[in-house]
Amino acid sequence: MTGTDVIIVGGGVAGLSTAYQLSQRGVSVTLVERQQLGAGSTGQAAGLLGQVRKTASATRILVDGLKVVRELEAQTGQEIFVETGSLRLATTEARVEDTRNHVDLGAGSGLEVSLLATEETARLLPYMKSDDVILASHTASDGHILPHELTMSYAQIARKNGVKILQHRPVRDVIVEKSRARGVQTDQGPIYADQVVLACGPWAYLMAERVGQVLQTVGIEHVYLTTHPNGDYPIDRTSPAVRDYDGRIYSRPEAGGLIVGIYEDGPVLRDMAELDDDFEMSQMRAARDSPAVAHLLDSALHRFPFLENVKYSITQGIMTFTPNGSPLSGTIPGVDNLYHTAGFCGHGIVQSPAMGVIMAQLILNEPCTYDLSAIAADRYFGVPGFQERSDIDPKCAHTYSGHYGSAPR
Ligand SMILES: Cc1cc2nc3c(=O)[nH]c(=O)nc-3n(C[C@H](O)[C@H](O)[C@H](O)COP(=O)(O)OP(=O)(O)OC[C@H]3O[C@@H](n4cnc5c(N)ncnc54)[C@H](O)[C@@H]3O)c2cc1C
């Protein structure tokens, strides 16, 4: 035995947040990462935080998460959250209705969300085309989390609390004895612990398969562009984030430039089993003529015409989607003491601060005040139509495609 209470596999925000929370509670943790911290989806993320979600529980995960971020900032002295406010544009009558509902949902969760007329929207974001905007909602306390700073802050305090972080160490298997997780197998030998947490991002379903479990996640490519700073088109670091659902794009300021990303229809799925140990997500290069990039440029140029005159680079990564847009966190029948946490559907950076608290509560059997049924890892356990990849993949792709797009009429 190594004296480790909990082994966490995966050094993205999900694993690190769990490590941080467990170590704050005096638990002895070893975190094992196949490459280096943040080398998965985490390192590619844009970090946008829009707190108002479709359910009060999902909103609370983000609102409470921001409090955790503030605590981390106080402990490390590092800025992690940039408050910019955010705009949600309505360019169709159907979206106007949806936007009014959004304002009500936000108000119901105690957030300051208001409706803005076209002129006010234009005043807030002079570099955005707004003459086709009927109205917009504005959430004052939204913004973005800096993914690298969040990752390193979790790691810094976790290490200070005694967490052992092993990098460049792929986990090959979970050691299971008598239907109970006992540790993990690596090329350098086994590591034993009382509990094992799999926080493997897009690789999550592969680790689940190793122990005969089905995790309903899929890896999906995602692209955004980042404009280079240009003195003729200054972008303030606190100018509001934008969500243009009808145009399928989002934006936020980044180092004097602008990030614009797209949730396109018909996304590209990735078989994570095809990627070898050397695969680095940061080395992914999107083809300029791919449908996703073409759609991104088209929509981005429509909303931000100044893009015509500035240079930009394109970032590509792999997100993890589930069939209904909520993560899969907790245990699955068949193997005791084995926890999963994955499938954050493009919101893992901003969900991670509260999800770490939830995972720590689950692992330590503490009372949990969140609606766990919405995020339970076993919610599709044995459910017909959710057990084969040929069923799971299209359902997850459908959720990605419907994430943005036309408002329901
Ligand atoms: C382009 C892009 C833009 C995004 N924008 C946003 C955004 O605006 N806001 C937001 O909140 N989220 C965003 N996301 C999503 C966010 O990045 C993810 O939800 C989040 O990073 C997931 O964290 P994770 O820890 O679950 O996964 P990951 O960060 O992928 O971490 C999993 C880790 O597990 C490791 N691993 C896998 N298998 C093994 C193994 N066998 N042994 C050891 N280690 C292993 C991997 O190397 C990886 O480091 C974006 C993602 C992408 C790709």
What domains sit in the chain, N to C, each tagged with a CATH number? 6-46+148-216+324-386 (3.50.50.60), 84-141+219-321 (3.30.9.10)
Residue 224 alpha carbon, nearest atom of ligand 1 = 1
Asked if residue 222 has its Cβ within 6 Å of ligand 1, the reply is yes
CA dist., res. 135 & res. 342, Å (int): 35
Stated pTM of the model: 0.97
Q: Whose CA is nearest to atom 31 of ligand 1?
A: 12
**Do residues 87 and 99 make contact, with C-beta atoms less than 8 angstroms apart?**
no
What distance in angstroms lies between residue 13's CA and the mean position of ligand 1's atoms? Answer: 7
Ligand 1 lined by 41 (C-beta under 6 Å): yes
Is ligand 1 within 6 A of the CB of residue 267? no
Check pocket membership of 15 for ligand 1, CB cut-off 6 A. Answer: yes
Q: CB of 347 closer than 6 A to ligand 1?
A: yes
Q: Is 39 in the pocket of ligand 1 (CB under 6 A)?
A: yes
Cα of 42 to ligand 1 centre, how many Å? 4
Report pLDDT for 145.
98
Q: Is 32 in the pocket of ligand 1 (CB under 6 A)?
A: yes
Q: Is 48 in the pocket of ligand 1 (CB under 6 A)?
A: yes
Q: Are strands 81-83 and 143-145 parallel, antiparallel or unpaired?
A: antiparallel
12 CA from centroid of ligand 1 (Å): 5
Pick out the chain residues at pLDDT < 50. Answer: 1
Q: Atom 53 of ligand 1 has which residue's CA nearest to it? A: 317
Give me the pLDDT at residue 409, please: 52
Strand order in the sheet with 328-330: 164-166, 29-32, 6-9, 195-198, 338-342, 328-330
Closest Cα to atom 37 of ligand 1: 200
CB of 170 shorter than 6 A to ligand 1: yes
Per-residue pLDDT at 1: 40
| Mode of pairing for the β-strands spanning 241-244 and 249-254 | antiparallel
Angular region, 186: left φ>0, alpha ψ -120 to 50, beta rest: beta
pLDDT of 375 reads: 97
